[in-house]
Amino acid sequence: MSQYLLLRHRELPDLDKLSGYRAQGGFETFKKAVNDMSPAEVLTTVKESGLRGRGGAGFPTGLKWGFIPNNLWPHYVVANADESEPGTFKDREILENNSFQFLEGLMLASFAIQANVAYIYLRGEYWQLAKQLDRQIAELEEAGLLGKDLFGSDYSLNLYTHLGAGAYICGEETALLESIEGKLGQPRLRPPFPAVAGLYGKPTVINNVETLANVPLIIANGAAWYRSFGTEKSPGTKVFSLSGNVVNPGNYELPLGTTFRELIYTHGGGIPHGRKIKAIMAAGASSTIIPASEEALDTPMDYEEPQARFNAPLGSASVIVMDETVNMAWLVSKTVNFFKHESCGKCTPCREGTFWMNRISHRLVSGNGSSADIDLLDHVAHQIQGKCLCALGEFSTMAVISGVEHFRPDFETLVGN
């Protein structure tokens, strides 16, 4: 595909400068929305476009905005730029090179729910991006695109950045809100959902950076245009972060519904050294491991198919490829170690379960495990399932359970030698 919606900086010059972005018609959409559209019209267009959240869950964006009640004020929008899923690096490219499009999307979302303040929550390692965004927000204020009574209307909007302190869990939306409020980053009990009681207890929309970056084009070109990309149920394009054993790792913006095969072989250049592909993880560390069969390779990457066929949600679409040299038990131990490190510790099954799984998988990988340990690992993972307070606990079990199910011999080779 030659046409980019999100990674337009790859084609257009100076998009990372306000002048360059405005030269492409940037912020005209926002101006038009504030001047000529009602918030409801913006919301309806996004609803009709079928845009789904790119943060992982694929939740319909318009529907989410529609949950915001109009009898509780103020409203907030929070952009989720925590991007902590291992293997995900798409938001970073957007923020580094096409941040004005993201900012315009955030501003449109704020207008749609009539929020006067919006926050951008960035992972702590993105401090340079936070500085850059602060500069750009200042530029927008100077240009009269942010601030009080915009374009002579009575709508005002201010944006602020907020840096996290290095916790994966703070990408989870309610832990993120706690973190902005200056509290320990632990998920909140739901209900109430953020749409009703979010930041500081007020109605709040939380969207991923990529999700928001879609919005200006949807408002500018209409829902029907947007639906011309992707599939019926998963419209639009998606930035796939490709990594692992591929010749050309990187971000690829492709229509949703593109197959794994096209991503890995056509765009990613296939597997290095002529090796065979062994497995795919579609959603970073939070993936079900998909054995790389022909059927798997021909599966379209959207919010339905991988889930239906392999119980493998697309998540944030960080596709990690493993070739035949990779021992899956080793891979599983890496994911388990990650979740043990990132569990917030609030609920028992995840806090204790990830710790336990880490002990077992470490034992296995270091050659000190037994066959019974493989069963125990699998058992503990099942024991965690369905009991946790947030999705992280569930994520921690996915690679374990699918890994043991499909690649048990990889585990067995580590036993007893």
Ligand X SMILES: Cc1cc2nc3c(=O)[nH]c(=O)nc-3n(C[C@H](O)[C@H](O)[C@H](O)COP(=O)(O)O)c2cc1C
Residues at the site binding another protein, with contacts judged by CB under 8 A: 167, 169, 184-186, 189, 340-349, 351-356, 359, 376, 383, 386-389
> Which residues lie closer than 8 Å to 246 by C-beta, 6 or more apart?
264, 268, 269, 270, 271, 272, 321
Angle between helices 28-36 and 99-112 (to 10 degrees): 10
User: What's 26's DSSP letter?
Assistant: T
Q: Which does 105 bind (CB under 5 to 8 A by kind): another protein, ligand X, ligand SF4, none?
A: none
Quick check: 347 binds ligand SF4 (CB under 6 A)? yes
Quick check: 329 binds ligand SF4 (CB under 6 A)? no
Residue 215 to residue 256: CA distance in whole angstroms: 16
Q: Give the contact letters, 136-175, x = binds to ligand SF4 (CB under 6 A), - = no.
A: ---------------------------------x------
Nearer to ligand X, 155 or 193 (CB): 193
3-state secondary structure of 163: strand
Quick check: 53 binds ligand X (CB under 6 A)? yes
Alpha-helical segments (H) within 158-208: 173-180
Quick check: 392 binds ligand X (CB under 6 A)? yes
Residue 382 to residue 394: CA distance in whole angstroms: 9
Q: Which does 39 bind (CB under 5 to 8 A by kind): another protein, ligand SF4, ligand X, none?
A: none
Count of residues that bind ligand SF4 according to CB under 6 A: 15
Q: In what order do the strands lie in the sheet with 318-323?
A: 250-255, 237-244, 318-323, 277-281, 289-291
Residue 192 to residue 355: CA distance in whole angstroms: 29
Residue 15 to residue 20: CA distance in whole angstroms: 5
Q: Which does 56 bind (CB under 5 to 8 A by kind): ligand X, ligand SF4, another protein, none?
A: ligand X
Nearer to ligand SF4, 101 or 358 (CB): 358
Question: Which neighbouring-strand residues pair with 124?
Answer: none
Residue 12 to residue 132: CA distance in whole angstroms: 20
Quick check: 173 binds ligand X (CB under 6 A)? yes
Quick check: 211 binds ligand X (CB under 6 A)? yes
CB of 386 to another protein, least distance (A): 5
3-state secondary structure of 326: coil
CB of 62 to another protein, least distance (A): 22
The token pair that represents 29 in the structure block: 């959409």
Query: Angle at Cα 150 formed by Cα 145 and Cα 155, nearest 5°?
Result: 125
Q: Which does 414 bind (CB under 5 to 8 A by kind): ligand X, ligand SF4, another protein, none?
A: none
CB of 256 to ligand X, least distance (A): 14
Q: 């001047």: which residue's tokens?
A: 35
Residue 201 to residue 352: CA distance in whole angstroms: 30
Quick check: 345 binds ligand SF4 (CB under 6 A)? yes
List 346, 374, 399, 402, residue binding ligand SF4 (CB under 6 A):
346
Nearer to ligand X, 211 or 354 (CB): 211
Nearer to ligand X, 211 or 402 (CB): 211
Three-state helix/strand/coil letters over 236-303: CEEEEEEEECCCCCEEEEEECCCEHHHHHHHHCCCCHHHCCEEEEECEHHHCCEEECCHHHHCCECCC
CB of 208 to ligand X, least distance (A): 3
Quick check: 129 binds ligand X (CB under 6 A)? no
Residue 396 to residue 220: CA distance in whole angstroms: 40
Residue 128 to residue 130: CA distance in whole angstroms: 5
Give the length of the chain. Answer: 417
The token pair that represents 77 in the structure block: 């929008």
Quick check: 83 binds ligand X (CB under 6 A)? yes
CB of 336 to another protein, least distance (A): 12
CB of 177 to ligand X, least distance (A): 10
Count of residues that bind ligand X according to CB under 6 A: 22
Binding to ligand SF4 in span 377-396, by CB under 6 A = 388-390, 392-393
Span near ligand X by CB under 6 A; candidates 69-77, 128-136, 379-387, 388-396 = 388-396
The token pair that represents 372 in the structure block: 């019974």
CB of 186 to another protein, least distance (A): 8
Nearer to ligand SF4, 77 or 170 (CB): 170
CB of 314 to ligand SF4, least distance (A): 21
Q: Which does 59 bind (CB under 5 to 8 A by kind): ligand SF4, ligand X, another protein, none?
A: ligand X
Contact residues for ligand X, defined by CB under 6 A: 53-57, 59, 80, 82-85, 169, 171-173, 206-208, 211, 390-392
